């Protein structure tokens, strides 16, 4: 099974506000829990209904949209300025310094670079059956993974809306 990988493109509305700085009027609640940028939320709820028809329940493990402050808090919780023993080692550059992902932590983007900050990404519970369904069906609704299994940045739970026009 291959992972559907694609990078999102931003629309002009998102660019007006900035990552992690979207007004509440641009966000919509989704059926799995959490909020996404309105076009992504509409597509997500269509995907949710299709999954439900197939006996799959999509459950959120995060709130979707993350403010810049939330992105910063997550980043500081997960990364260290000192090298760690984690393998594979995942690094980020933020504020001109190299940061190292701590052992036992999952990757996150540097503050201001997260697709959660655009309201485009949702983290889901992904038991095997759900993961397989998402790989086979999520692209029909505009959702993709950001990194393949072979990447140290692979996150089976992280699905991003990529079909903004």
Per-residue pLDDT tens for 86-141?
A: 888 899 999 999 999 999 998 999 999 999 999 999 999 999 999 999 999 999 99
151's tokens: 């990447």
pLDDT at 159: 98
Cα–Cα dist 162/119, whole Å: 11
CB within 8 Å of 117: residues ≥ 6 apart = 19, 20, 21, 22, 65, 66, 67, 68, 71, 109
For residue 153, which phi and psi values (nearest 5 degrees)? -95, 10
Q: What is the pLDDT of residues 72-83, one digit of tens each?
A: 999 999 999 999
131's tokens: 């993961």
Domain with CATH 3.30.1380.10 in the chain: 1-66+117-165
Work out the pLDDT band at 56, boundaries 50, 70, 90: very high
Three-state SS string over the chain comes to CCCCECCCCCCHHHHHHCCCCCCHHHEEECCCCCEEEHHHHHHHHHHHHHHHHCCCCCCECCCECCCHHHHHHHHHHHEECCCCCCCCCCEEEECCEEEEECCCCCCCCCCCCCCCCCCCEEEECCCHHHHHHHHHHHHHHCEEECCCCCCCCCCCCEEEECCCC
Work out the pLDDT band at 161, boundaries 50, 70, 90: very high
pLDDT at 88: 85
Number of CB atoms found within 10 A of residue 88's CB:
9
Whole-structure pTM value = 0.93
Supply the angle between the helices 128-137 and 38-53 in degrees, to the nearest 10.
Answer: 120
Number of CB atoms found within 10 A of residue 141's CB:
22
pLDDT at 152: 84
Work out the pLDDT band at 6, boundaries 50, 70, 90: very high
4-18 average pLDDT score: 95
Q: Which overall architecture, per CATH, does domain 1-66+117-165 show? A: 2-Layer Sandwich (3.30)
pLDDT at 19: 97
């Amino acid at each position: 099974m291959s992972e559907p990988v694609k990078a999102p493109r931003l629309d002009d509305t998102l660019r007006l506000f900035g990552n992690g700085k979207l007004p509440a009027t641009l966000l919509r609640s989704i059926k799995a829990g959490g909020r996404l940028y309105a076009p992504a939320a509409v597509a997500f709820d269509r995907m949710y209904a299709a999954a439900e028809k197939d006996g799959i329940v999509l459950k959120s493990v995060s709130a979707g949209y993350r403010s810049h402050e939330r992105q910063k808090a997550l980043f500081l919780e997960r990364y260290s300025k000192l090298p760690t023993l984690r393998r594979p080692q995942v690094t980020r550059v933020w504020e001109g310094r190299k940061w190292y992902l701590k052992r036992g932590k999952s990757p996150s983007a540097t503050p201001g670079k997260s697709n959660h900050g655009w309201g485009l990404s949702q983290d889901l519970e992904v038991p095997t059956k759900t993961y397989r369904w998402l790989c086979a069906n999520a692209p029909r609704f505009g959702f993709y993974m950001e990194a393949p299994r072979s990447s140290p940045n692979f996150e089976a739970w992280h699905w991003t809306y990529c079909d903004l026009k």
